[in-house]
Amino acid sequence: MWSSLIVGALLLFLTDALAVQKHKGCLTRRELEIQAKRLLRRTGRPTEHRAVHAVSSPSCSDFTHWVFSSDLKNRSLSPWRSRFETDHNLFPSVYEVAECLCSGCIIDGSENTDYNSIPVMQSVMFLKKVLCSSDPEKYSFEVVYKTIPVACTCAVPRQ
């Protein structure tokens, strides 16, 4: 009986300790940005995106103008464009997502709707800003994963 109580108390203690560790300390906004960038660099994630000049928004019918491009997104059987999304509660706050240009796939130089262009989804790690309950002027962060489209691929339609 005592062993059950000891195990229960130990589990309660560990649960509280893990809850405290869920947030990585209370930091000022500036300190939080520095820590987030440091952690993202260690995991190989970009901390900032360079500004990209938009040429024009390509469409599926424009694919013939892009086939000689070095970019895979323009030469794919399921071409896509990239756009940036912003979420100021996340680090990095700006991230790239893919949008398929065609509903079908480019087969023999034209769009064939017997096939489907579908997004390739990937789970990506972000750091989410969280207000500290002990000090509303400070923040903590927690690791969150978001599934985002990163490219497009050609697929046979579901039957």
The pLDDT value recorded for residue 38 is: 85
Number of H helices and number of E strands within the chain?
4, 7
* 52 or 115, higher pLDDT: 115
The pLDDT value recorded for residue 2 is: 47
Buried b (16+ CB within 10 A) or exposed e, 64-100: eeeeeeeeebbebbbbbbeeeeeeeebbbbebbbbeb
| The two structure tokens encoding residue 35 | 């820590």
Domains recognised in the chain with CATH numbers: 29-44+73-155 (2.10.90.10)
pLDDT confidence bin for 45, thresholds 50/70/90: low
Indicate the average pLDDT of the chain.
Answer: 79
For the chain, give the percent of residues with pLDDT over 90: 39
Q: Which of 82, 85, 157 is nearest to 118 (CA)?
A: 157
